[in-house]
Amino acid sequence: MNKKIVLASSSPRRIDIMHKHGYDPQIIPANIDETLPLGISMTDAVMFLALKKALSIEDKVERGSIIIAADTIVYKDEILGKPIDYKDAFRMISKIRNTSHFVTTGVAIIIAGENKKKAFYDITKVFCKNYSNEEINAYLDTDEPYDKAGAYAIQGIFSKYIDHYEGSFDNVVGFPWALIEKEIADISQT
């Protein structure tokens, strides 16, 4: 592929996944208002935010560049984004205890300066073990929960509280690579 790849994110996890698959993207983090329209579904929410991120950096890259943006949420009776503080993180981690929830990542891929735009999503069902309030508090005393949707990282310290999942692990990390790679190939062919 001869097109420049731009990642609209500074997420170390997303950058690592791209590097692992042989891509060295230009990194231009999107800085957008992530307020969602009232009543939006979890799938529409992540695609809306991913597309908003991709479009927000389009004028900062050279025409023809492939821009990739993503947004991840946890859903358990409501959208659980990044916690605003300790109390909010405690609420989120308590809510997913000993039950299942959904992790949805929306991805937008656009070609800068062209009318080629694609938004899609992936969903993984995650099952958590039972854990005590003391275990939650110990987890919340680490730095891990505060910049993560749903206040946890499946690949981090919290992994010991994950029973199992149905779907893509990379999706829960925040970057469903199998789908992304297919869509990069498709959009750069058209």
Average pLDDT taken over every residue of the chain: 94
In this structure, the number of other CB atoms found within 10 A of the CB of residue 5 comes to 18
Residue 44 has pLDDT above 80, yes or no: yes
Is the CB of residue 184 less than 8 Å from the CB of residue 175? no
For 11-33, the pLDDT digits (tens) are: 999 999 999 999 999 999 999 99
Integer angstrom CA distances of residue 74 from 20, 119, 144, 151: 25, 18, 15, 9
Q: Print burial letters for 38-71: b (CB count within 10 Å at least 16), e (below 16).
A: eeeebbbbbbbbbbbbbbbbbeebeeebbbbbbb
For residues 94-119, average pLDDT: 96
Looking at the annotation, which residues are catalytic?
71
For the chain, the straight-line distance linking the first and the last C-alpha, in angstroms and rounded, comes to 13
The whole-number pLDDT of residue 4 equals 92
For 74-99, the pLDDT digits (tens) are: 999 999 989 999 999 999 999 999 99
CA dihedral for 177, 32, 51, 64, sign (positive or negative): negative
The whole-number pLDDT of residue 116 equals 93
The whole-number pLDDT of residue 190 equals 62
The whole-number pLDDT of residue 69 equals 98
Separation of alpha carbons 28 and 6, rounded Å: 7
The whole-number pLDDT of residue 189 equals 78
Residue 1 has pLDDT above 60, yes or no: no
